[in-house]
A and B are shown apart, each in its own frame.
Chain A
Amino acid sequence: MSAVMQPTGEPAGFDAWGDDQHARVGFFTDTSVCIGCKACEVACKEWNLIPQDGQEWTGHSYDNTGELSANSWRHVAFVEQEKPLHANGDGTTGLRWLMESDVCKHCTHAGCLDVCPTGSLFRTEFGTVVVQEDICNGCGYCVPACPFGVIDKRHLPAPDALPAFLGTKEDGRVWKCTLCYDRLKGGHEPACAKACPTKSIQFGPLDELRQRADERLAKLQEQSWNGAQLYGRDPDDGVGGFGAFFLLLDDPEVYGLPPDPVVPTAKLPEMWRNMATAAAALLVGIAGVVALGGRK
């Protein structure tokens, strides 16, 4: 783990770690072997001491978690669909049951990290994206800045709640997957990968995972699986590739994932220039309106 590798699609500022920099690590979530046991969800909540946020029966197959949130950092999606399992016409039976354990993508170009005004969100020495909870002031900007709807504010009561007259009693900060930053520092794999019984969740150096994913896709191709595709593997997509990417069996939107995510800050230089022009126009415009024409 201590060897510094040169992965493609390097995140900005990752090399600032110098000698402390590790190989960039991540997840390869292979949904073709997911059995929907939710051991990842449970292991994640246990290890990271994530509070309970109530129970709701959604009626959406076996999914009662619903979505990634401040209190669910792994979420197993269940899709029931009438599609053949194979692309070549074999096994054209009724129902196909897709399961996918979703997680923070730890983007190469992370919108949440870019827009965070306090520097609470940062790039770790493992190339992952983590919130420093002692810095976050709950401004919420990262929430709509994430193209995947991963990060969210926690509205549950705060463990160290202030007296009511000093502010709200809810936690008020944003939370998401840390890729088990504490476990990585101790040389362990993240809790979800450790708990996964089918190796659907694979943890490791990112370039190794990409290679493994390519081999897996080739194998599924050989067996003519219907709709198999790698999602987030490519370093030249709109977020520079995911640190946690997926092998899916249908289009991303079927699982509630955006089909072509782009980091909003990609357009920020253009937006700043546009704003500078607008601000200059406002200055000149107001002065002009005051100058032209009389006082009456």
Chain B
Amino acid sequence: MTTSYYGRPVIKEPTWTWEIPTYFFTGGVSGASSVLSTSAKLFGNEKLSRRALYIGAVFDAISPLLLISDLGRPERFHHMLRVFKVTSPMNVGAWILLVNGGASNTAAVLELLGILKPVKLLAELVATLFGPPLATYTGVLVADTAVPVWHEGRHELPWLFGASAAASAGAAATMFMDPDDAAPARRLAIGGVVAEGTLVHAMELRLGEVGEVYHKGTAGKLALAAKALAGGGAALLATKGRKSSAAATLGGALVCAGELCLRWSVFKAGVQSARDPKYTVKPQRERAQQNGGSKVTTLPRNT
């Protein structure tokens, strides 16, 4: 039995509302879509390239709205950009989102209008370079907190979010395309789901007792839903989705829904991890006893 003060939490749970886990998903889609678009273009699949470009741009336009809406003072959103601060993943992320979103939307608009091709290519290049950081920094964002299940998951989280982003970007593209042209997107969706599932498992192995929140309460339900939806969607894409548009659309939608649930399960796991003091106290007490970590000056005991 871990000691606590009337069972109260030691740390505060995040105050973030629904917009933040949703943004983890939308930011992932646009970040990975930027890379998918450029890769498809390089390897001669113009249709997929254009589709991924538009999808990335749309999600890049939604993301800042979600983030601003979550702020306690939305009218002060631009205060994020009054400094550049590497000790703050949120600050760095705001800059990454600004660059990636600006570039992907510039490229998409120029593509639609069919003008200024050199500028468009430059914008696509910038979006491609800033896409992977956009898809992965959110893993650092949550890991750089005192929330045990997030902080101890710091080794896997950026990889997990990257894999999830790849899966959802591929899946989103298959939803809006003729299956004949969507093979690379399907492979990305399926490969992303497999990688994401493996990384979830690796993270839980490392987390041990701290990771049990992924099997409890809302986080547990969401983690199960993520597995079922993404797994089912990937299976559909691998089979009927190769031929039938309807199956591809459904499969893509299922994978996207699964990846959205995954981000939500990570978010809810953090809330649950902060709420129960044992996840904060127990590992710290063990650490303190092993290496005198807390360096407290103690007198002889009588308990």
Binding site for B on A (CB under 8 A): 58, 60, 63, 66-67, 77, 79, 83-84, 86-89, 111, 114-120, 135-141, 143-153, 162, 166-168, 170-174, 217, 220-221, 224-231, 233-234, 236-238, 251-261, 264-265, 267-268, 270-272, 274-275, 278-283, 285-287, 289-291, 293-296
Contact = CB atoms under 8 A, between A and B. Distances in A.
Interface of B: 2-6, 8-16, 32, 35-36, 39-40, 42-43, 45, 70-77, 79-80, 82-83, 85-91, 94, 128, 131-133, 135-137, 139-141, 143-147, 150-151, 154-155, 158-159, 162-163, 165-166, 169-170, 180-181, 183-184, 187-188, 191, 242, 270, 274, 277, 280-281, 284-285, 287-288, 293-303
Residue with the highest number of chain B CB atoms closer than 10 Å, among A77, A153, A221, A281: A281
Contact of B77 (A137, A147, A170): A137
A229 B294 CA distance: 11
B132 A253 contact: no
Contact of B166 (A217, A258, A286): A286
A145 B136 CA distance: 19
Nearest to A270: B154
A88 B302 contact: yes
A135 B285 contact: no
Contacts of A279: 132-133, 135-136, 158, 162
Residue with the highest number of chain A CB atoms closer than 10 Å, among B70, B143, B145, B166: B145
Residue with the highest number of chain A CB atoms closer than 10 Å, among B94, B285, B296, B298: B296
Contact of B12 (A146, A238, A278): A146
B285 A259 contact: yes
A224 to B, nearest CB: 7
A271 B82 CA distance: 24
A257 B10 contact: yes
B83 A118 contact: yes
B72 A268 contact: no
Nearest to B160: A278
B90 to A, nearest CB: 4
B79 A120 contact: yes
Contacts of B85: 116-117, 119
Given A265-B87, A290-B45, A117 B166 contact: no
Contacts of A233: 297
A118 B15 contact: no
Contact of A149 (B6, B10, B187): B10
A230 B72 contact: no
Nearest to A251: B3
A199 B5 CA distance: 24
A149 B90 contact: no
B284 A117 contact: no
Nearest to B163: A282
Contact of A264 (B40, B144, B187): B144
7 contacts: A77-B5, A115-B88, A118-B91, A173-B72, A220-B299, A226-B302, A289-B188
Contact of B73 (A141, A173, A228): A173
A281 B159 contact: yes
B75 A171 contact: no
Contacts of A135: 76, 79, 82
A145 B144 contact: yes
Given A140-B15, A253-B281, A282-B136, A287 B35 contact: yes
A116 B169 CA distance: 30
A293 B144 CA distance: 38
B293 A238 contact: yes
Given A172-B72, A260-B294, A282-B132, A84 B288 contact: no
A78 B286 CA distance: 25
Contact of B91 (A117, A221, A285): A117
Residue with the highest number of chain A CB atoms closer than 10 Å, among B85, B88, B270, B281: B88
B12 A256 contact: no
Contacts of B159: 278, 281
A152 B16 CA distance: 11
Contacts of B150: 144
B11 A146 contact: yes
A58 B8 CA distance: 11
B284 A258 contact: yes
Given A115-B88, A162-B75, A286-B36, A260 B284 contact: yes
Given A118-B80, A152-B12, A259-B288, A290 B39 contact: yes
Contacts of B91: 117-118
A249 B280 CA distance: 21
Contact of A84 (B5, B146, B302): B302
Given A119-B83, A220-B299, A271-B140, A285 B293 contact: no
Contacts of A166: 75
A226 B302 CA distance: 6
A192 B174 CA distance: 62
Residue with the highest number of chain B CB atoms closer than 10 Å, among A256, A257, A260, A268: A260
Contacts of B94: 117
B139 A275 contact: yes
B296 A231 contact: yes
A278 B4 contact: no
A233 B39 CA distance: 55
B183 to A, nearest CB: 5
A151 B146 CA distance: 12
